[in-house]
Structure 1
């Protein structure tokens, strides 16, 4: 079998781009044939001639060493099983890589912005994965002259990046809970210090169970998963959503053995979890409502949480941080959040007391449990 290599490239063009929209002529062609059922209609959709489209199909069949399309006179064109599998696998891989593609695009935009305008403020932000933050980056650049160098990481990893000086602002999320909440205290309290860190409000969002359309297993809470033998798509250890999962397990009294019975694959973003559920690799996963809706999934709300940005106290007056606060307090940010299901602005742009915003802070940090630290679930 012919060995095939993957070659990546990028280009500078007029206009913006977001998400994981990485263009590739092969997959554009296969999608057009699948969606339109004929080579002629696919050619029309692509703005190309029938002859060119037919030639491209033959070219890609030669490159891949596999038949891509089957058709007969008077019959609709169909993708071969190989082409179907290839298109599905590429779509899932691209979805899983969304945060990393966004980070790469942000880095390249940073390079271009520096070359074009050396006076533009640049702000390095490492943050827990979120669908609204790329919108904030766009609006901050367009209206406030601020280039946000956005990189996604788990909540705990983002806070470690801040402590190690690899970013100026970090992003993490927690529910607005009162009382003793051991999971959040154990995971986050060692990484945040009153007086040293300053919180900046950003938004409030809803997390819940992302399930197949129509919720065929009738899942209503996390405890229903082991009871129904459901496969749960997990988030990676160190992420805020993994901490939330551990918290909900403790609240609902789900033991380790019961949870192990339904624990499945691990993904590192909300959209990757949604893609796994949509493709049938799992029955449910915890994530934000906007990701579930984007993939046509059902959504069972579980809890609201606050998304905070945090910086060191001595950088609060940094010009880039000031511009970030202005962008968060602007009507454009409220309008952007209105486009995403499950999001609302909450104390956006305000500097908040760490101990007031995180009521569980006042309680002694519990001794870490094996389950919380190891991520073995």
Structure 2
């Protein structure tokens, strides 16, 4: 079976909403004009071009399209006539949907030409507050009728998000770290090579709690990672490069535990929701995640640690209208109230440009200058 592909054209001119195929146009011209040469003239094309295209399409489709004999008018083969019929049928049946599709595309492109519309591409570790922010921005624009802010969010691991920012694939990244982690920790080793004062700016977004997601009623009595290790509870972990994996490894170190002490440490899931589903389905006894994911899956949640969720962008991006609009939105009371309604979340310093040294306790630029052998920015 032959497959179809659709293409569209941008134009200042108004025209009917049609899905056209050049082969059908050729067949229609030849059929209406009675010869290839007359059909070519009607289309403003050369005889050589039309003849060559017809032969190419015959090879592509494996059937003859036009019959022409010397001294007689050219006419479509049965297969060619059926192609024309199929196209007319489809156009007649799908005209309303085609018109609706054209309208939707035109509305989307209209925003690209509207200076009051801002699009911010954000790579970030998954968080319910970010999904809520995207909907909040759209809702606010609809209700108040002012400049629209569209957040193009791609969820990925914290490390990959910052790398995407440094590689120019986005204008802002979202990552999270435990509060009060000190020097010479995994958090420092993970994020410090990716961030540079003077180049990056940290923006407050939210504070949230990470904890154990366990079955309803917590049947194994798991209240700490030490309990998980002692009970040999089956654990669902996150992949390397995710912020939650870094948080888990930090908490294990603080508890004096090794990865080998956790049964299922190598069992990884792609998101908080996937970890929660694994626990709810009985595939694991516990996993580290956020309260909102546990609540949605009908699980109990055992708080273990508070963390900050940060946004980061290049200093030069702060002057972009889209970033300015985002920071203003984050500072509104309506948004901060919405964050507070998400289980385990609060809007801490939301939208504020913060000192890297204050929000990342392991960061000490003065110590950096004293020890120049730190891994360079990449």
**Deviations, residues 244-301 of structure 1 (Å, cap 9, x unaligned):** 0010110001124323x34252111111111111111100000001110111101100
Match of residue 191 from structure 1: 194
Listed as ranges, the matches of 1:164-175 within 5 Å are 164-175=167-178
- Distance in 2, Cα, partners of 1:111 & 1:181: 52
Question: Does the CA contact (< 8 Å) of 1:225 and 1:262 recur in 2?
Answer: no
Structure 1: gaps spanning 5 or more residues: 1-109, 369-377
**Deviations, residues 317-372 of structure 1 (Å, cap 9, x unaligned):** 1100001101111122112213211111000000011122101112679999xxxx
Match of residue 133 from structure 2: 136
Change beyond 3 A, Cα 1:287–1:111: farther
- Distance in 2, Cα, partners of 1:300 & 1:148: 32
Listed as ranges, the matches of 1:310-325 within 5 Å are 310-325=312-327
The correspondence for 2:360, drawn from 358, 361, 367, is 358
Question: What is the TM-score when the length of structure 2 is the normalising length?
Answer: 0.65
Question: Does the CA contact (< 8 Å) of 1:197 and 1:311 recur in 2?
Answer: yes
Count of residue pairs brought into register by the alignment: 258
Secondary structure of the structure 1 residue equivalent to 2:319:
coil
Change beyond 3 A, Cα 1:171–1:113: farther
Question: Does the CA contact (< 8 Å) of 1:264 and 1:282 recur in 2?
Answer: no
Match of residue 117 from structure 1: 111
Secondary structure of the structure 2 residue equivalent to 1:249:
helix
Change beyond 3 A, Cα 1:140–1:309: same
Q: Which of 330-339 and 161-170 deviates more?
A: 330-339
The correspondence for 2:210, drawn from 184, 187, 207, is 207
Match of residue 291 from structure 1: 293
Question: Does the CA contact (< 8 Å) of 2:249 and 2:259 recur in 1?
Answer: no
Secondary structure of the structure 1 residue equivalent to 2:182:
coil
- Distance in 2, Cα, partners of 1:126 & 1:305: 19
- Distance in 2, Cα, partners of 1:229 & 1:112: 57
Question: Does the CA contact (< 8 Å) of 1:136 and 1:327 recur in 2?
Answer: no
Is 1:254–2:257 an aligned residue pair? yes
Change beyond 3 A, Cα 1:178–1:285: closer
Question: Does the CA contact (< 8 Å) of 1:233 and 1:282 recur in 2?
Answer: yes
**Deviations, residues 184-229 of structure 1 (Å, cap 9, x unaligned):** 0111000110110001101111110000001011011112112101
Structure 2: gaps spanning 5 or more residues: 1-103, 141-146
Match of residue 238 from structure 1: 241
